[in-house]
């Protein structure tokens, strides 16, 4: 299958990265290389873009897509949580900009055998890195009922988490769950029909939750953002596109904390904790996709772009 993925808010990302022709940039979620290609196109001699992705299919597709810019684009198969080490190995200390376009790609969703979608019956997988030890199949067949409930409630914000988890445990006692269709059937039978008629596909929240757990998505994001801000040169920017409220909250809170890190009690007349701002939040409200883009790419409807800039004083 050809790797297809529409680059969400491409123009907004390029504008907010403020690309310098001789700058160094990192795309931590390379995908098919759409954003990276356009960054590379704006670089000249001395400029460089490093694209990181844990999906071997993405690296293969992006390598072909970026062949015309192989003099200035370096692709690395890894998780963006290892960005500092990746840059160190490339002899890079600081960069001018970082991009994260989070979540699952269109290619991953549309490739049935990857098991990300509830729209087709496929093997329960959901691994962004297909060499990872734990798949969705392992999660639904081995996690205790209480842990399944927690994951569905926290990562999927699923009201019927306990009932769905109980249904999974009951079914797997008869035989292990193997297919996305089996999981979708359990979900639909666990949610009252009147609720299914209101909120779109009833499987969306559970599939999201299991995918997040499978790929440690929120854990990786939470543990990486502060370090990425530290990798920025003064004036450098980090742009993060999120697709659900959990990711967006993590990004929003991290950026706010790095803008105002003071931990002194509010009654203190002056700051004594000594914590200095690392920069400022560029986007007081997140940037969302325009109507024109939404007509072409419905998956951009839930996208939010937040931007943080490192300052000289940091």
Residue 36 lies in a domain: yes
The 8-class DSSP code of residue 276 comes to P
130 and 268 together in one domain: no
Per the structure block, which two tokens stand in for 287? 């940037």
Is 198 or 51 the better-scoring residue by pLDDT? 51
180 and 120 together in one domain: yes
The whole-angstrom separation of Cα 91 and Cα 35 is 23
CATH code, domain carrying 135: 1.10.150.170
Residue after which a domain boundary falls, among 170, 199, 215: 215
Per the structure block, which two tokens stand in for 237? 């920017």
The whole-angstrom separation of Cα 244 and Cα 247 is 6
Among residues 81, 44, 89, 40, the alpha carbon closest in space to that of 63 is found at: 40
* The pLDDT of residue 109: 81
Burial of 110 (0-12, 13-18, 19+ CB in 10 A): middle
How many folded domains does the chain comprise? 2
State pTM to two decimals: 0.92
Average of per-residue pLDDT across 153-157: 95
144 and 59 together in one domain: no
* The pLDDT of residue 105: 80
89 and 230 together in one domain: yes
Residue 3 lies in a domain: no
Per the structure block, which two tokens stand in for 218? 């929120």
- 107 pLDDT band, cuts 50/70/90, is confident
Residue 139 lies in a domain: yes
The whole-angstrom separation of Cα 125 and Cα 178 is 9
C-alpha distances in Å from residue 271, one per residue of 25, 120, 232, 268, 287: 34, 56, 25, 7, 32
207 and 222 together in one domain: no
Q: pLDDT averaged over the chain? A: 93
* The pLDDT of residue 5: 56
**Residue 108: which region, alpha, beta or left (left: phi > 0; alpha: psi -120 to 50)?**
alpha
Residue 71 lies in a domain: yes
What is residue 208's three-state secondary structure? helix
Q: What is the pLDDT of residues 181-238, one digit of tens each?
A: 999 999 999 988 877 767 678 899 999 999 999 999 999 999 999 999 999 999 999 9
Residue 1 lies in a domain: no
Residue 175 lies in a domain: yes
78 and 209 together in one domain: no
* Domain interval for residue 267: 10-107+217-310
**DSSP β-ladder status, 232-242 and 95-101:** parallel
CATH code, domain carrying 23: 3.40.50.150
Q: Which residue has the tokens 């035989």?
A: 175
229 and 86 together in one domain: yes
Check whether 3 has a pLDDT greater than 60.
no
Percent of the chain with pLDDT over 90: 78
What is residue 303's three-state secondary structure? coil
* The pLDDT of residue 313: 59
């Amino acid at each position: 299958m050809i790797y297809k993925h529409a680059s969400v808010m491409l123009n907004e990302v390029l504008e907010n990265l403020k690309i310098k022709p001789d700058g160094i940039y990192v795309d931590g979620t390379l995908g098919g290389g759409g954003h990276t290609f356009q960054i590379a196109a704006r670089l000249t001699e001395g400029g460089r873009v490093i694209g990181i992705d844990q999906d071997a299919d993405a690296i293969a597709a992006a390598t072909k897509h970026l062949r015309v810019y192989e003099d200035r684009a370096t692709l690395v198969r890894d998780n963006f949580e290892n960005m500092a080490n990746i840059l160190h190995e490339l002899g890079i200390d600081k960069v001018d900009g970082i991009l994260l376009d989070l979540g699952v790609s269109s290619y991953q969703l549309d490739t049935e055998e990857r098991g990300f979608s509830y729209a087709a019956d496929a093997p329960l997988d959901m691994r962004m890195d297909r060499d990872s030890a734990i798949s969705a199949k392992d999660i639904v067949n081995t996690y205790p009922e209480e842990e399944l409930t927690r994951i569905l409630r926290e990562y999927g914000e699923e009201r019927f988490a306990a009932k769905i988890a109980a249904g999974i445990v009951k079914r797997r006692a008869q035989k292990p769950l193997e297919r996305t269709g089996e999981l979708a059937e359990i979900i639909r039978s666990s949610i009252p029909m009147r609720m299914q008629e209101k909120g779109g596909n009833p499987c969306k929240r559970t599939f999201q939750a299991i995918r997040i757990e499978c790929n440690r998505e929120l854990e990786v994001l939470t543990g990486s953002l502060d370090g990425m801000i530290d990798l920025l040169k003064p004036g450098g920017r980090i742009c993060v596109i999120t697709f659900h409220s959990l990711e967006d909250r993590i990004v929003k809170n991290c950026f706010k904390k790095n803008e105002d890190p003071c931990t002194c009690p509010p009654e203190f007349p002056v700051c004594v904790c000594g914590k200095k701002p690392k920069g400022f939040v560029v986007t007081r409200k997140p940037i969302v996709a325009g109507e024109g883009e939404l007509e072409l790419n419905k998956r951009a409807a839930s996208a939010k772009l937040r931007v943080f800039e490192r300052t000289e004083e940091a």
